[in-house]
Amino acid sequence: MLNTPVEEIMTEHVVKISEDATLTQAAHILLRFQISGVPVVKSDDNNEVIGIITTTDLLKILDEALSMHGHKLTALDVVSGLKVRDIAHSN
């Protein structure tokens, strides 16, 4: 099993998200597909992967905002103005 080529077990139809997507859209994709991370692609036609966004990234943003502003904010307040490109990890 450990010698199995990656191509035999890899996912061929990868879920991805545009860098222009909102964090709300990213959260929806992570929940809908029950995944912990999603590749972020350029918004042009190339679909070049430029990073990844994870559930941990979303939780960090929420935690930082709540720490700065107390509990006066809702999760929607925190993510409504941000785009995926603002927090995606790049290589």
pLDDT tens for the chain, residues 1 to 91? 788 999 898 888 889 999 999 888 999 999 999 999 999 999 887 889 999 999 999 888 888 877 777 666 666 666 666 777 777 766 4
pLDDT reported for residue 38: 95
Cβ atoms of 29 and 52 closer than 8 Å: no
pLDDT reported for residue 75: 62
Cβ atoms of 84 and 16 closer than 8 Å: no
Cβ atoms of 14 and 22 closer than 8 Å: no
pTM: 0.73
pLDDT reported for residue 56: 93
pLDDT reported for residue 45: 75
